[in-house]
């Protein structure tokens, strides 16, 4: 609901209407465009992504999925075939996926899926403006009582498709513009606080130190080792099977993105160090096994170093598996798109990938089956002005949505 967001929503709505769609903006600011097809009462195909960005962002994250969907429907409209769709098709540009302003992701898609708590309306930005207040400033009235009206009826939806840039380097490395998504990794975020004995950097002998910075460094290296080689750390038993460890070996990623110390002076042994841990994997049981093993070993290291260690879980999101049949349809559509573009330019099959990043499809999976197509981006760079997608790859994305829709005519 920033001024730029409102302008973007109005622009998208105009594009939808130009493609022959009936449009509206719901009470969470999501922009909708719908065509009923042959049977308006059939279950609808939802196609979407988000219109918001992070700060200092690129132009493709989110918007590519919205533009690809509208473009494909515009082609059908230009050919006079929009009314030949066997079921309704609805494009949704979700208002807030990134969670930048209100520090809560999936506001738009969670409302449609019916999983957004009423308390979310009172989340506030840095200026104290609430979600409810921001909507009201833009003449959108919503209350906790009618928030549930945004939820779609599960029986009215056939499935959800999302096109998105990969935000990773795999497709570029393989020389292919498109991939289909097997699943979206589950994620756990933790805060680790290590406390020791603060002291003078020049007067406390090394053998007598209880240094939380050195301990934190060892904990971070432990995390890296465990996540690079989980098979060396996890035991095979009823809780951690061979298949789980194999899955972790290809999908597990771990990151320490923030670290701070107190009092943070060059001539002081810190008294406290705090750092974050982000753990993602496609296997939820495997992710839990990693967290269990990591926590135990962290506590052992802290005990050995005579420092205290507090591990807090701040966020958990389960993995989402894409629907097998929908994935097959999208793979066929992506293959068809690449064949339309050139003669034997892309000899390899469209690959099946895992998504390590979260997407609106995670929220919509609580409503219906989901499927995703990934699009190659240069260097795997995203959330940056350097984010870039080749024009031909944008073309491929639109053609893949068109090919998918043509199978529903």
Q: In this predicted structure, what is the pLDDT of residue 145?
A: 85
Tokens of 190: 């933790």
Kindly report the backbone phi and psi dihedral angles of residue 380, in degrees, each rounded to the nearest multiple of 5, phi listed first: 70, 15
Nearest to 92 by CA among 5, 183, 24, 167: 24
- The CATH number for 301's domain is 3.30.70.360
Same domain, 179 and 54: yes
Same domain, 327 and 181: yes
* Cis preceding-peptide flag for 263 (omega within 30 of 0): yes
Residue bearing tokens 């097809």: 37
Tokens of 372: 């995703």
Q: In this predicted structure, what is the pLDDT of residue 315?
A: 87
Same domain, 392 and 367: yes
Q: In this predicted structure, what is the pLDDT of residue 223?
A: 98
Same domain, 171 and 40: yes
Domains: count for the chain: 2
Q: How many CB atoms lie within 10 A of CB 371?
A: 23
Q: In this predicted structure, what is the pLDDT of residue 247?
A: 79
Residues shown for the chain: 409
Q: In this predicted structure, what is the pLDDT of residue 249?
A: 81
Residue 276's SS3 state is strand
Name the domain boundary from 265, 295, 317.
317
Q: In this predicted structure, what is the pLDDT of residue 240?
A: 60
- The CATH number for 83's domain is 3.40.630.10
Same domain, 132 and 8: yes
Same domain, 335 and 297: no
Domain extent, residue 344, equals 3-185+319-407
Same domain, 137 and 179: yes
Q: In this predicted structure, what is the pLDDT of residue 128?
A: 97
Name the domain boundary from 317, 338, 359.
317
Separation of alpha carbons 3 and 9, rounded Å:
10
In what helix (H) or strand (E) does residue 333 lie, and over which residues does it extend?
Answer: helix 324-341
* Cis preceding-peptide flag for 329 (omega within 30 of 0): no
> pTM of the prediction?
0.86
Same domain, 358 and 327: yes
Low-confidence ranges of the chain (pLDDT < 50): none
Kindly report the backbone phi and psi dihedral angles of residue 3, in degrees, each rounded to the nearest multiple of 5, phi listed first: -55, -40
Same domain, 340 and 394: yes
Q: In this predicted structure, what is the pLDDT of residue 317?
A: 86
Per-residue pLDDT reduced to its tens digit, 76-126? 999 999 999 999 999 999 999 999 999 888 999 999 999 999 999 999 999
Q: How many CB atoms lie within 10 A of CB 236?
A: 11
Nearest to 276 by CA among 297, 255, 253: 255
Q: In this predicted structure, what is the pLDDT of residue 344?
A: 58
Q: Contact, 111 vs 97, CB < 8 A?
A: no
Q: Could you tell me where the DSSP H helices lie in 79-130?
A: 107-113
Q: In this predicted structure, what is the pLDDT of residue 244?
A: 78
Residue bearing tokens 């935000």: 167
Same domain, 223 and 166: no
Same domain, 208 and 353: no
Same domain, 111 and 225: no
């Amino acid at each position: 609901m920033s001024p730029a967001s409102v302008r973007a929503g109005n622009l998208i709505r105009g594009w939808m209407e130009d493609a022959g769609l009936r449009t509206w903006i719901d009470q969470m600011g999501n922009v909708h465009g719908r065509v009923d097809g042959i049977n308006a009462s059939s279950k609808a195909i939802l196609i979407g992504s988000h219109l918001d960005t992070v700060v200092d962002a690129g132009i493709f994250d989110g918007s590519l999925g919205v533009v690809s969907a509208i473009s494909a429907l515009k082609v059908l409209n230009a050919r006079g075939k929009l009314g030949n769709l066997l079921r309704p098709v609805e494009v949704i540009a979700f208002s807030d996926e990134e969670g930048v302003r209100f520090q809560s992701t999936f506001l738009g898609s969670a409302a449609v899926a019916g999983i957004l708590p009423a308390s979310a309306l009172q989340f506030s930005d840095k200026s104290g403006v609430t979600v409810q207040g921001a909507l009201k400033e833009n003449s959108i009235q919503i209350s906790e009582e009618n928030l549930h009206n945004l939820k779609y009826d599960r029986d009215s939806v056939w499935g959800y498709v999302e096109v998105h840039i990969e935000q990773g380097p795999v497709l570029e490395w393989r020389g292919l513009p498109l991939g289909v998504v097997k699943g979206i990794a589950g994620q756990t975020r933790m805060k680790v606080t290590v406390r020791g004995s603060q002291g003078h950097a020049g007067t406390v002998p090394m053998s007598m130190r209880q240094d939380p910075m050195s301990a934190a460094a060892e904990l971070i290296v432990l995390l890296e080792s465990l996540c690079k080689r989980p098979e060396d750390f996890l035991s095979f038993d009823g809780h951690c099977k061979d298949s789980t460890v194999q899955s972790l070996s290809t999908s597990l990623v771990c990151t320490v993105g923030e670290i701070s110390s107190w009092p943070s002076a060059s001539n002081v042994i810190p008294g406290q160090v705090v750092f974050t841990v982000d753990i993602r994997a496609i296997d939820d049981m495997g992710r839990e096994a990693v967290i269990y093993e990591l926590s135990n070993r962290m506590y052992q290291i802290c005990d050995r170093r005579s420092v205290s260690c507090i591990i807090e879980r701040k966020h958990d999101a389960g993995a989402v598996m894409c629907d097998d049949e929908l994935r097959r349809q999208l793979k066929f559509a992506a293959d068809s798109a690449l064949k339309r573009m050139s003669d034997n330019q892309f000899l390899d099959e469209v690959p099946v990938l895992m998504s390590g990043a979260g997407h609106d499809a995670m929220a919509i999976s609580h409503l219906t089956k989901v499927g995703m197509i990934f699009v190659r981006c240069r260097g795997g760079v995203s959330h940056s002005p350097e984010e870039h997608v080749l024009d031909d790859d944008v073309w491929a994305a639109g053609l893949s949505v068109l090919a998918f829709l043509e199978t529903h005519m």
